[in-house]
Chain A
Amino acid sequence: MSVIHDIGYRRYQGPRLGRVSVLAALYVHGMRAAFGLGRTFKAKIFPWSVAGIMLVVGVVAAAVKFQTGLELLTYETFPDQMSMLLILFCAVVAPELVSRDLRSGVLPLYFSRPLSRADYPLAKLAAMITSAFAVMAVPMLIMFLTAAFSGDGMGAVWDEVKAFAPGLAYALLFALVYSSIALLVSSFVSRRAVAAGATVAVFLVTAPVVVVLTFATTTTGQQLAQLASPSTLVGGVGQWIFGRPEGMPEELGIGSFGPLYGAVTLGLIALCVSLLLARYRKVAS
């Protein structure tokens, strides 16, 4: 029957894959870590509860709209409303992706392999962005499918697509900004709890700054105030794309500074990514 034979050491003659496959392997590993797959139940609790809450919100919004026609949340307001949950999600997942590796000293095992210094943070960042985007995009997709196929005809579907696509882009922008900040902060801290706290702090500490600045004397100053915090910054870009929400007083809006908000957002992402790359050029191996 099944006897275990010691077949001795066998050499590997098969193919060795290139950079793209290695990056893909690291990316998939990161996605598994983000959602606690292949890990204990404890590691799954947080990411899945955040994802679950967002999903429930999306399903309820879709159901209410389907039943009553009342729009609780639109594709634009959903990412706005979920941004606090997204901060929490990033603050927990980013340390899972990078702080753990710092703490367990596993980096020398990566960098002693044919993996460039930039590949590691880029694969981790891609996993962070994907997972952050996914937790928002899935509920939005449910809202879209419900709305699109409860209307009549292809015209209704197309109208829905036109509303859905920018909303999805807006969610992606949230994911990009929050992920790059969270991953950068976590890459400097080896203790996960501290890294999570530091990430949340970046968002929380800057929020009151915005409030203080809105008391600025000039309207221009007030309209620029929202540049000061990552969450209001992305919100500002949202106003630029979708227009000022109804009922929002003008001094709380961004005025005509939309392009500036867009540029600052892109600049912030670029800054975080280059600092992240610099961090891993230097990290001890």
Chain B
Amino acid sequence: MVKKFMALLRMKYIEMFAYQWATLAWSTGAMVQPIITMMVWINIYETEMESFILYFSTLILVERLTAAWDVWDLDRDIREGSFSNYILRPIHPIHWAIAENIIYKGLFLVVLVPAWLVSSFFLPSLQLHLNGWEWMLFISALLLGGGIRFMFSYSCGLLGFWINKVTAVYAMFEGISLFFSGRIAPFSLLPPIMQDISLYLPFRYMIGFPIEVITGSVKGADLGYGFLGAFIWVLIFMGILGFLWHAGLKKNQAVGG
């Protein structure tokens, strides 16, 4: 299995360099929305500039490292029938997507971490003073967030076995997620009712929770509950994914050809 996965990683690495300009756009283009949102908030709360810079810089990093685009690929592949080629091979198609995620996120790290380090010389608020334990908590929250976001996107993609243009459904969830994942504003600025609701939805654990961990805005028992919530959503999406996969294969029309 390790050999198979290494071959997929190698192939995705080579493929990534075939899409040079697209890769560059994916690495950097996603910075635009958080930067503009940050400028809006700084304009409103000028005194909080430093904390907004830290929050939205972390948002850029976490958003890229948990990004999920699999629904777009699955929607196209199922609708056009090219998904059959993945089903026919003796390895679960999800491994192709996992390999692609690892390769691209590796690249995002290579682009974003040096950018952060350089920026931190000019912006003191970006100089992090975390101990080993805090780094471990952040990385764990990030991995759980990435896992939830990936499985959410892949599960929506599998709905393509039943409905056309499943990306429309996904876009609706993305709209909701903008608010509940902390991408529009830090949770502390959301109305209390939205803060409460966000605890029970998966979106907070995708992006907002890892940011709260690194910025130190969640502590003690709340930190524990945050990890518990993230872990429960991982389990829920594993169940949903397994169910949709098996039911989808029965429903598959293997169109085209």
Q: Is A bound to B?
A: no
List chain B positions with a Cβ less than 8 A from chain A. Answer: none
List chain A positions with a Cβ less than 8 A from chain B. Answer: none
